[in-house]
Structure 1
């Protein structure tokens, strides 16, 4: 098995790709969190029900 050596362009590219993948994953999970009060107002539901938009994405 070959490893990517530190200090190479491939190492830097791999680190950037892994960071981006992790960031996007968590951003997608929590993107609805600031929208929950709006969901509650627009759909006339309780905050607990509006929070299901966040819970359903993490199941």
Structure 2
């Protein structure tokens, strides 16, 4: 039921992968991996912001 969207298939595949990893490596390991991967973009943005701040302070 409902409309099938490509994103739904991606979520289903990700869910299957996480289930397989959970069975193989254990729940804490999978959660740690997920958190590290999901924070990668945020850490990259933070690094860029710190670099811009460093350059702004250097120019003053």
TM-score bracket for this pair, using the shorter chain length: 0.3 to 0.5
TM-score by length of 1: 0.43
* Higher RCO by CA contacts (8 Å cutoff, separation 6 or greater): 1
Q: Which has the higher helix share?
A: 2
